Structure 1
Amino acid sequence: MHILFLTDNFPPEMNAPASRTFEHCREWVTAGHKVTVITCAPNFPKGKLFSGYRNRIWQSEEIAGIHTIRVWSFISANEGFALRIADYLSFMFSAIIAAFFVRRFDVVIGTSPQFFTVVAAWITALIRRKPWVFELRDIWPESIRAVGAMKSSKILDLFEKLELFLYRKADHIVVVTESFRKTLTQRGIDTAKISVVTNGADLSLYEPVAKDQSILQALNLQDKFVVGYIGTHGMAHALETVLEAASIASKSPAGKQIVFLLLGDGARKRHLVEQARLMQLQNVIFLDSVAKDEVAKYWSILDAAVIHLRNVHLFETVIPSKMFEAMAMGIPILLGLRGEAADIIRISGAGICFEPENAQSLAQATLNLVARPDNVSNISEAGRRSAKLFDRKVLADRMLTILQTKIYQK
């Protein structure tokens, strides 16, 4: 089978969409299938080209056996709704054109959260008379409302009509949570054409390892309890809560040994750095994004990992992929989420849940971990056991089976 995959995030970008797509495609190639990915020049999240790349009309490379076609797009930082839409639309048109030159593929996959990529998949499938799959990783228009990134409800209403149109036109929909399947079913989408393939972790990359002493020494963290947030610093993540929790924890005697480390970039990064400066926080460290093969080293120095989203109903349906990476490495999770993700943490015992956007709740959860080293060890072991249920290889095989049985053999 020849799979054509359209995505605007792909390595060397290291966000969750890029990792999921790459790891699935890599496993499909290993299973003997041909995979072609159409993407753009890597630039997320700063809106700056990665070293060694140019924003050309067409360039191609092989990555782990995946034929990767990179097309031109309007590049902008992940901030400002109009600029982001220009980015998404330009990639959509470029991807449609590029797909004309891909020969003899059997199925098209378009991945969200922004569904202009999915529009490109639908148009490509329509023109080439091939089946197509909508991979739904985020209820995108509703998430824009949830974080207040756009005020015009009329435009968002129009986007939601397009969203529903794409759900109906898709030959199959792959969602990342059971909550998403329930939401789509309630909105009138045939549940028979919806499958769930959750996020997960590459267990060959994320596994328990000794703390990287060179990083600890460079950051002067040898005797500290390191609480880390690794990922995008965006509006949805409300990382101001982490800064406030750091301030609260610093006032406790036990909190003197706690340091909060935030690694990554995003639309709110500069604001957060400035806020930490104004709050005179001495127990917060900001680091820029690192290459994907370096991320595990930074995970290794964490004694606990913060995973947090804003306290809105929509995010109760979300399961962040970094949760599984932390579990695989045996890092206790401090989870600021309700819903399906919280259920996984409670059932597995892989962490502690705190109330989203409640800095006092996060600070207290952190202090509880520091006070109970034995509990940290138990949580770590529980996370490692549970991570095996979310092995990316198993999940990639599950999605491949869906493609073969529900799409390719029709």
Structure 2
Amino acid sequence: MHIAVFSQYHTNPDCPATSRHYALLEHLAKTHRVTLLTTDAWAGQRLTQQFPWVPAGVEARVAKVHYDNKMGPARRALAFVQYAAWAVREGLKLDRPAVIWGISTPLTAAWAAARVARRLGVPWVFEVQDLWPSFPIAMGAVPTALARRELFKLEKRLYDSAAHIMPLSPDMSSYVTNLGIALKKVTTILNGTDLELAARATPAAVEALRQEQGLAGKRVVLYAGTFGRANDITTLVAAAEKMVEADSEVVWLFLGHGFHAPLIAAAAARWPGRIRVVGGQPRHAVFAWFGLADVSVVSFLDMPVLDTNSPAKLYDSLAVGTPVVVTNRGWTKALVEREHCGWYVPAGDAPALAARLREALQQPGLLHEMGARGRQLARREFDRQTLAATMQRILEQAALTGQGR
């Protein structure tokens, strides 16, 4: 069958990004015709050329709409509108698909998918990556009460019109069903991780990276992800400075890019070699960095909407056996405590974070045990190939149900 996919931000494993949809599209394209409507926003950020831009069998239709993490709210909104308008026009030119898969964020991409589905008379499936508009509203990006009300109305209409809804975390699913959406219409499909790429982080590869970086004998804390406004980077920097001041054997690595890069760079200048900015790494290389860390940190601001999210760095760290410290109070806290693969520290509390990490680093045996449990959990529940098969079944069922209307 023909599946049309509306996704504003496509990446591949050559990019410094999670590339979730690359794995899912690759799986779908083995048995179905797939057309991807996306933008070129990430095309210029490829760091290597090991993977084709889209998986074999996927036809990409690409709009030229710029985007980066440093944009302000107005410029972001313009990019969202530009993609949505283009996606509706382009979507109506497609050979009629059996089902449409709309991916939010942003909410406007899902709106475009829903509009085309309605015009073509086909079902659509809604993937919820983050809760919109709750997230931008919490970040102060939607200043007027009228705009907030209209966005919440749009969100509810999209949930109602979708044949099925696929949030990326159990807390997101609870949010959706609490709006009155039937439980049978909602399936949680976690962000997950790429176990075949994680397998590249062999002990030899990790040791080679450790020697290359001069980290032999050091206790390493890693933050790998966006240096964004929502990621509580100021708390991480404060904790890092407390730790390296007290212990010369501790090294903090910040792997990524984004809005707060200058803040981290300034700390690195104050503590050369002890706080390091690694910069973005391609998806296929990031697992070795997680592998050399003793513990990683998954941090966000103290906002209820952020407690629902499904951070890739959590899955990636556990996949290679590195325990995590999370600062969300939602399902990730419950997960690491239930599975004994990490710890929770309240967001915004730099002294508590530094203390928790110091205690963890002094217990290598416990770190090893927690890492082993995390690795087992990743293989049991986080494999994107298994998650892709679930998504395929949902898309096929939606198409089948649509044929009977």
Superposed pair shares fold, TM > 0.5: yes
Where 2:9 maps in the other structure, the secondary structure is coil
Q: Does the 8 Å contact 1:5/1:37 carry over to 2?
A: yes
Q: What residue in structure 2 maps to residue 237 of structure 1?
A: 231
- The answer to whether the aligner puts 1:26 opposite 2:26 as a matched pair is yes
Find 1:286's aligned residue among 270, 277, 282. Answer: 277
Distance in 2 between the 1:353 and 1:330 partners? Answer: 17
Q: What residue in structure 2 maps to residue 308 of structure 1?
A: 299
- The answer to whether the aligner puts 1:39 opposite 2:38 as a matched pair is yes
- The answer to whether the aligner puts 1:199 opposite 2:191 as a matched pair is yes
Distance in 2 between the 1:335 and 1:76 partners? Answer: 26
Distance in 2 between the 1:205 and 1:140 partners? Answer: 30
Q: Does the 8 Å contact 1:74/1:86 carry over to 2?
A: no
Distance in 1 between the 2:207 and 2:187 partners? Answer: 43
Q: What residue in structure 1 maps to residue 220 of structure 2?
A: 226
Displacement after TM superposition at 1:150 (Å): 4.4
Indicate how the Cα distance of structure 1 residues 243 and 74 shifts in structure 2: closer, same or farther if over 3 A, else same: closer
Aligned length: 395
1:10-409 pair list within 5 angstroms = 10-12=10-12, 13-16=15-18, 19-30=19-30, 32-43=31-42, 62-75=54-67, 77-207=69-199, 209-210=202-203, 211-252=205-246, 255-274=247-266, 277=269, 283-388=274-379, 389-409=381-401
Give CA-to-partner distance per residue, 1:263-290, whole Å, 9 cap, x none.
111122224333555x657621112212
Distance in 1 between the 2:358 and 2:272 partners? Answer: 17
Distance in 2 between the 1:155 and 1:272 partners? Answer: 34
Q: Does the 8 Å contact 2:125/2:162 carry over to 1?
A: yes
Give the letter aligned to residue 197 of structure 1. I
Q: What residue in structure 2 maps to residue 57 of structure 1?
A: none
Distance in 1 between the 2:231 and 2:67 partners? Answer: 23
Where 2:197 maps in the other structure, the secondary structure is coil
Q: Does the 8 Å contact 1:237/1:310 carry over to 2?
A: yes
Where 1:140 maps in the other structure, the secondary structure is coil
Distance in 1 between the 2:67 and 2:219 partners? Answer: 39
Where 1:195 maps in the other structure, the secondary structure is coil
Distance in 2 between the 1:354 and 1:52 partners? Answer: 36
Give the letter aligned to residue 408 of structure 1. L
Displacement after TM superposition at 1:327 (Å): 0.9
Displacement after TM superposition at 1:14 (Å): 4.0
Structure 1 gaps, min length 5: 54-59
- The answer to whether the aligner puts 1:6 opposite 2:6 as a matched pair is yes
